[in-house]
Amino acid sequence: MPGSLPADGIPGISSTELDLFRFPGEIAALRSMADVGEAILRRTRPLGFDTYVVGTMPPPDDPSPTPFTVDNLAPRFWEVYLSQGMAERDPTFRAINMAGAPVSFSDIREGEGGFVPHSDELAVLELAASCGQPHGLVVPIYRAQGYRGLVALTGPGPDPVGAVRAVLRFLAEHAHDRMRQLFVPANSGNGPILSARETELMALARRGLSDEEIAVASGISVRTVRFHFDNVRRKFQARSRSEALATAINLHLLPP
């Protein structure tokens, strides 16, 4: 195949390095963001990172091009993160904005992200730790037209240094770009859009209302509320309602 790497290796490049260089070609053949996520996890789990968040750096300066968020975080993380408004004090965003380069959770805790985090910011990292992700690397992504994205790789760790950090950055950059290629914005006209009812229910969920409270506010049954939430989740190819809500917020599909 033109451009493929030879099976017998390249002089001066180890077999491990050669395998790493095959990653971009491997994910180029994949046709869903979920498959790309599994591909990156096969490479990162042995390094201590079993969770990812890939997407546009919030808040995007411009909803174009292709703002998106995809992850395999535990639903509990998103439930607490969104209900407590942690996005406004997430130290990972502040750190990569200031550093302009990958930062680990240790970097942030030790003030090497350009600032000494206060207790409200550290609470975000503590939430991640309580969900089984005490360590992580956050990689900023900069592309044409002012696009800014990020990839966060988290897990039991330890926090990466040296060659491991370089490997994770390589994987993160390529995984982000492939996921961005595969993503179809819900408001693009090329993919699904939220109905007025779905928008209404998601906006109520954003306020932290329970299914029962949403049903009363909307004048529909709890069963119908859950039907609509399941439909939104399928539209966004999300693994959970919390992930679908995060995507809708990031796409600016909900009223402020």
Domain ranges of the chain: 15-182, 196-250
Distance of CA 22 to the CA centre of its chain: 23
**CA 89/CA 118 separation, integer angstroms:** 10
Which pLDDT score, from 0 to 100, does residue 43 have?
Answer: 96
Q: Percent of the chain scored above 90 by pLDDT?
A: 49
**What is the pLDDT confidence band of residue 13, given thresholds at 50, 70 and 90?**
low
CATH of 196-250, one of 1.10.10.10, 3.30.43.10, 1.20.140.10, 2.60.40.420: 1.10.10.10
The rounded distance, in Å, linking the Cα atoms of 84 and 77 is 11
CATH superfamily of 15-182: Transcription factor LuxR-like, autoinducer-binding domain (3.30.450.80)
pLDDT at 64: 44
Contact 54, 69 (CB under 8 A): yes
Q: Could you tell me the pLDDT band of residue 58, with boundaries at 50, 70 and 90?
A: low
Which of 19-28, 213-222, 231-240 comes out lowest in average pLDDT? Answer: 231-240
- Model confidence at 63: pLDDT above 50: no
| Residue 143 CB neighbours (<10 A) | 13
pTM score, two decimals?
0.72
Q: 151 with 53: CB under 8 angstroms?
A: yes
Distance CA 111, CA 153 (A): 20
Quick one: average pLDDT of 185-193?
53
Tell me the backbone φ, ψ of residue 249, rounded to 5 degrees. Answer: -65, -45
Q: Within a 10 A sphere around the Cβ of 51, how many other Cβ atoms?
A: 23
Q: What is the pLDDT of residue 131?
A: 95
